[in-house]
A and B are shown apart, each in its own frame.
Chain A
Amino acid sequence: MEHYTRRVLSVIVLNEDGVLSRISGLFAGRGYNIDSLTVAPIPKTNLSRLTIVTSGSAPVLEQIVKQLHKLIPTYKVIESGQFVEKEMALVKIPLAEDFNGLDAMLKAYNGTIASSGEDFIVVMVADDYDRIDNFLKAVKKYNPTDIVRSGSVAMDI
């Protein structure tokens, strides 16, 4: 079994029709993994930035980068190890739960209460992806009814 590594790629593409389908189609067609994918326009340009978290063996990762480059609307593929990478998660918790300790936990994970309703609160945390993993494990004791993760966003430094 070849060794699989996790890789964050920041891909700058022309912000035009169908560009996302070219990228997702490339991954699907060649059997590459997408662990997460986020996309948003880059302000004041005709470009968009995709942050793709993928995994594979070293030759596969090399092919992924080359195949991304090969797409006509691809401007740049940044694969440096020097990323600030953050992810966000939203967690809905019923009000019936005992919130003892939640406050401290939110503080520890850059969290806050994002919304609340008659019988629930929604907390939001933004942190490194592995710390989000940890938070989501820890928050289980409050019996969350819904969890949404954003996927990573990354900036090369």
Chain B
Amino acid sequence: MELSGSQMVIEALRKENVSVVFGYPGGAIMNVYDEVYKQNYFKHILTRHEQAALHAADGYARASGEVGVAFVTSGPGFTNAVTGLATAYMDSIPMVVISGQVPISMIGTDAFQEIDAVGISRPCVKHNYLVKDVKDLPRILKEAFYIARSGRPGPVHVDIPKDVTAQMGHFAYPSEIKMQTYKPTYKGNPRQIKKAIEAIQAAKRPVLYIGGGAINSNASAEVREFAKLCGIPAVETLMARGVMGDENPLLLGMLGMHGCYSANMAMSEADLMIAFGPRFDDRVTGKLSEFAKHAKIIHVDIDPSSIGKIVPIDYPIVGDLKNVVEAMIPLAKEQIDESKYKPWRDLLKRYDEIHPLKYEDSNEILKPQWAIERVGQLLGDKAIICTDVGQHQMWAAQFYPFSYPRQWLSSGGLGTMGYGLPAAIGAKVAVPSKTVINFTGDGSILMNIQELMTAVENNVAVVNIILNNQFLGMVRQWQTFFYNKRYSSTDLSVQPDFVKLIESFGGRGFRVTTKDEFDKALKEAVESNTVCMIDVQVDRFENVLPMVPAGGTLYNMMLEYKE
């Protein structure tokens, strides 16, 4: 079949069963957009900024487990997209991003809207390509999708010069992948697995430390079964919320900087840590020399470079988590006696009773934690929860009752403000049957506010809940704790009228100052099936607690803040 480069892009996406592309056109990618116009295999959603196109594709990928796809043009189109690439890369999210480039003959001449896109994307993608010949395009696109979703997933960037999108070439989409150099390991080494089971058998105080890999590997059911079978208490990272399900009696909660007391104490007092797909982020470990210092460590990860990167590992297992845990289950059935860990479970339960996650509710002023809990009570598993970055993000992770994987979408690694709204759009497109909530802050929401237009235009009914404290709250909290209350550039009390703002985009807005108003607004928003924004006026000076100050130790948490 003779096709132009642009037609090849369309056909490749069709072969990959892509149902939606998020993007923004421009000069260098116009040939591709001309073919987008002519086809009806997939829906194209025009965002209002390239960064948002990538976050929407990212949200789509996280909610669905499929590869998210985005198109952007060369130059500024691409540079706007970089934050989206980096966000997805840090959280191992599968995406294919296709950018236009100036024609090959003009590369290197500082042409209009030219930038060295592959040079810029290299450190923030899993892999990238500059397509120099249309005959390579089918293979490159096939590889791009394969690389994005296989192994440790990640974004792949394909930069296509304008003349290549016009060139004609033979199109035969490869049916299988033959890559000489890239072969991820899926199956764990049986000897290592056996040793790991023996280590669990020998342990008295084991803890499951579950990371985002459990989501990427779709291993939630296996991890739950393994935990139950062995009776081992579990902690989740920010990225792993939903893996165990919050109703699960073995789940202590989130660990780390804003983790709960029992989770952090479990890590500190464990004699064996069973790490299922986390990456020992500094927000989790705190001071490394004190991190889980009594514990031997089993680390299961599909990325060998993740193992031993931060802390030495006693039992490394390279492989796909689902696969490895499946192999561990029959051995555990034979060899592990869950009653052995009862004293340990009881101890942790006591820790949780002594210092549960808490906040002081008020009838005078809305507390942000209350708003999150309330949404959890009213919507529970009916909602997918997206967030931006900051205090609201931590409160959402702490107080929303998650019950299944892919219910929670948040920029964990890069911490990208402005992620929430476009990611919510992507999630709602992926799973239209769910209510999609974007918990956001009055700082974050303005970083991609233009996407209200995308949502309204496409009738993607996401509900934005601004926990409005008129501060850049998390930075303000650090200034309170560590900078002697010098609130440098964090006061956001000069702000738009968010109700009028969303109304001007064609959505519905609510301003809320009481619990009754909140319930009413949420109910109306969810039932309205339109794009909504609830501006919740919350206590300005509420802090996220507990807190392990950066570089502090997990067993030495700040449980409350005293002036």
Residues of chain A at the chain B interface (Cβ within 8 Å): 13-14, 17-18, 21-22, 25, 29, 46, 59, 62-63, 66-67, 69-70, 72-75
CB proximity of A20 to chain B, nearest CB, Å: 12
Contacts A18-B122, A21-B122, A69-B305 supplied; 17 other A-B pairs, CB < 8 Å: A13-B181, A14-B180, A14-B181, A17-B130, A17-B132, A18-B118, A18-B130, A25-B123, A46-B180, A59-B308, A63-B305, A67-B305, A69-B304, A70-B304, A72-B126, A72-B127, A72-B181
Q: Name the residue of chain A whose CB is nearest to the CB of B182.
A: A72
* B305 adjacent to A21 (CB under 8 Å): no
CB proximity of B159 to chain A, nearest CB, Å: 11
Q: Name the residue of chain A whose CB is nearest to the CB of B118.
A: A18
The yes or no answer to B108 lying at the interface (CB within 8 A) is no
* A62 adjacent to B308 (CB under 8 Å): yes
Most buried by B among A59, A67, A72: A72
Q: List 23 A-B contacts (CB under 8 A).
A: A13-B181, A14-B180, A17-B130, A18-B118, A18-B122, A21-B122, A25-B123, A59-B312, A62-B308, A63-B308, A63-B309, A66-B304, A66-B305, A66-B309, A67-B305, A69-B304, A70-B305, A72-B147, A72-B179, A72-B181, A73-B181, A75-B180, A75-B181
A14–B127 Cα gap in the complex (Å)? 14
A45–B466 Cα gap in the complex (Å)? 58
CB proximity of B349 to chain A, nearest CB, Å: 37
Q: Map CB proximity to A onto B392-426 as digits: 1 under 8 Å, 0 otherwise.
A: 00000000000000000000000000000000000
Most buried by B among A46, A59, A70: A70
The yes or no answer to B303 lying at the interface (CB within 8 A) is yes
Neighbour of B123 across the interface among A13, A29, A69, A72, CB < 8 A:
A29
B interface bracket (residues with beta carbon within 8 Å of A): 10 to 19
A75–B182 Cα gap in the complex (Å)? 8
A74–B118 Cα gap in the complex (Å)? 18
A29–B132 Cα gap in the complex (Å)? 26
CB proximity of B52 to chain A, nearest CB, Å: 26
* B130 adjacent to A22 (CB under 8 Å): no
CB proximity of A52 to chain B, nearest CB, Å: 17
B residues 133-184 near A (Cβ < 8 Å) are 147, 179-182
- Which residues on A sit within 8 Å (CB–CB) of B312? 59
Q: Name the residue of chain B whose CB is nearest to the CB of A75.
A: B181
Q: Name the residue of chain B whose CB is nearest to the CB of A62.
A: B308
Neighbour of B122 across the interface among A13, A22, A66, A67, CB < 8 A:
A22
- Which residues on B sit within 8 Å (CB–CB) of A22? 122
A73–B122 Cα gap in the complex (Å)? 13
CB proximity of B427 to chain A, nearest CB, Å: 29
Closest 6 pairs (CB-CB, A-B): A66-B305, A72-B127, A75-B181, A29-B123, A70-B305, A72-B182
- Which residues on A sit within 8 Å (CB–CB) of B123? 25, 29
